[in-house]
Each structure stands twice: as structure tokens, then as C-alpha cells.
Amino acid sequence: MAGTKDYVNTQVGRNRDQIEFHIREILKLIGENVEREGLLETPARVTRMYEEIFAGYEVDPRDVLGVTFDEQHEELVIVKDIVYYSQCEHHMAPFFGKVHIGYIPSGKIAGLSKLARLVEAVSRRLQVQERITSQVADILEEVLKPHGVMVVVEGEHLCMCARGVKKPGSKTVTSAVRGQFRQSAALRSEFLELLNR
Ligand SMILES: Nc1nc2c(ncn2[C@@H]2O[C@H](COP(=O)(O)OP(=O)(O)OP(=O)(O)O)[C@@H](O)[C@H]2O)c(=O)[nH]1
Ligand SMILES: [Zn+2]
């Protein structure tokens, strides 16, 4: 089910009436007129948006890597520029950017799309960037048992751009290294060099 197909947060669907009610109440509390035309459908639209942006709760990210292939390619595999959109758990404000994944298989490879699906499953939740980074690395390590994994995540956080400290354009970069990448500076450099091509 959720591991391979597009999916939505079904709990949001089940709680649709209550979520719409509370969104409407928040609109009133910030001083809006919920009867004006532009806002009439807004609680329903926000609820539908929650079904999408919180779809990650619907799936165990490990299941996303359910389909793997036996293959004796024990060299670096990189999938870079996987775009993600997430919501910071401190402000419920969007953050987004790119995930770059490198791993050295040890007899088992993942379908390339499954790496992007793994990113979707961990990012479509309330998150912090560091946890997206370590979860992608840990799950790949657990399921594929590769010789090594390295994950680099770039993110722009609206809670830092549009409010608070207001620093638009600032980028946060996080990385997680496992296995051979931890031991070998040369391997980390090879990965980073290939990312910058
Ligand atoms: N480490 C980390 N911090 C994040 C992430 N997303 C948001 N934050 C930070 O979470 C922190 C929450 O700090 P608080 O002091 O509790 O909240 P705040 O008063 O709204 O803080 P300011 O943003 O500084 O105005 C802020 O420093 C945010 O920049 C993330 O993905 N990782
Ligand atoms: Zn935030």
C-alpha cells in the first residue's frame, strides 16, 4: 500500500470536520471575517493540504524500501537533488531543499525511485532537518546493510526567513555518515566532489 503509491494522511481525513472547525476558529481569533468569500473554503482547503503535507505519518519509511534487488555492484551509488518539502516542528512553518544520498551496496541495491520515496516518507511530517538526515541514513543502513551511507541535506527554513531572525537566503546543510564513509575522508571527498559536478 503506502510504500509504493501516492498516499495521504487518512487520520486527517477521518478528523476532517474537527480540523476544519479549528482552522475556522483560528481564523476568527486572528481577526479575520470567516464569512468573506475568499475564506469560505479555506478551512476545507487547509485540511486537504494537511492530508498531503502530513502524508508521511501514513507509512513506515522502512516499507518504502520493500523492493530491493540483489546486485554485486560494490561501488558508490549517488542520487542527488531529491527535492523535499517539510514542516518545522517548532513553528509548523515550511522548510524545503534537496537531499543527496550516496551509498556503497553490499549485495543489495534499492530501486532509485525508492530513495526519493524514502525522502518523501520522512519529510512529509513535522520534522527538524537533522532528523530527516539521520533517519534517511539509518533506514538505508538498516534495510540495505550497505558498506556505507552518506546523506547531505540542504534546507531553507521559512521560520528563519519570514519571521524571527529574518534571514532570507540562509541555507542549513546537514550530513550523516555511516559505515565506510565514517572511516574514509577520501570517500567523503569523492561523494562531495560528485555532488558539486
Ligand atoms: N536545529 C534545528 N532547529 C530548527 C529547525 N527548524 C527550526 N529550528 C529552530 O528552532 C528554534 C526554536 O527556538 P525557540 O527559541 O523555541 O523559538 P522562537 O522564539 O520562535 O525562536 P526564533 O526563531 O529565534 O525567533 C529556532 O532557533 C529555529 O530556528 C531545524 O530543522 N533544526
Ligand atoms: Zn521553525
CA 57 – ligand 1 centroid, Å: 22
* 141 falls within a domain: yes
pLDDT tens readout for residues 89-145: 999 999 999 999 999 999 999 999 999 999 999 999 999 999 999 999 999 999 999
Q: Which residues are catalytic?
A: 88-91, 129, 157, 159
User: Ligand 1: does its nearest atom lie under 6 Å from the Cβ of 166?
Assistant: no
pLDDT tens readout for residues 31-43: 999 999 999 999 9
Length of the chain: 197
* 180 falls within a domain: yes
Greatest alpha-carbon pair distance for the chain in Å reads: 63
What is the C-alpha R_g of the chain? 19
* 165 falls within a domain: yes
pLDDT tens readout for residues 8-20: 999 999 999 999 9
- Mean pLDDT over residues 76-82, rounded? 97
Q: What pLDDT, on a 0 to 100 scale, did the predictor assign at position 33?
A: 98
Average pLDDT taken over every residue of the chain: 95
Q: What is the CATH number of the domain that holds 174?
A: 3.30.1130.10
Q: What pLDDT, on a 0 to 100 scale, did the predictor assign at position 1?
A: 45
Q: What is the CATH number of the domain that holds 20?
A: 1.10.286.10
Task: Tell me which residue has cell 485540511.
Answer: 47
Q: What pLDDT, on a 0 to 100 scale, did the predictor assign at position 104?
A: 97
Q: How many angstroms separate the Cα of 194 from the Cα of each of 87, 101, 102, 191? A: 29, 11, 10, 5
- Mean pLDDT over residues 45-60, rounded? 97
Look at the chain and report how many structural domains it folds into. Answer: 2
User: Ligand 1: does its nearest atom lie under 6 Å from the Cβ of 129?
Assistant: yes
For residue 80, the enclosing domain spans 67-196
DSSP letter string over 27-57?
HHHTT--TTSHHHHTHHHHHHHHHHHHTGGG
Give residue 67's pLDDT band: very low, low, confident or very high (50, 70, 90). confident
Task: Please indicate if the annotation marks 88 as binding a ligand.
Answer: yes
**Whether residue 169 has pLDDT greater than 50:** yes
Task: Please indicate if the annotation marks 22 as binding a ligand.
Answer: no
In this prediction the pTM is: 0.93
Say yes or no: 96 and 131 in one domain.
yes
Say yes or no: 108 and 176 in one domain.
yes
Give residue 5's pLDDT band: very low, low, confident or very high (50, 70, 90). low
Task: Tell me which residue has cell 525522502.
Answer: 119
Say yes or no: 184 and 100 in one domain.
yes
Q: What pLDDT, on a 0 to 100 scale, did the predictor assign at position 52?
A: 97
Task: Please indicate if the annotation marks 161 as binding a ligand.
Answer: no
**CA-closest residue to ligand 1 atom 25:** 164
Global ipTM: 0.88
Q: Is the Cβ–Cβ distance between 133 and 174 less than 8 Å?
A: yes
Say yes or no: 50 and 72 in one domain.
no
Say yes or no: 84 and 134 in one domain.
yes
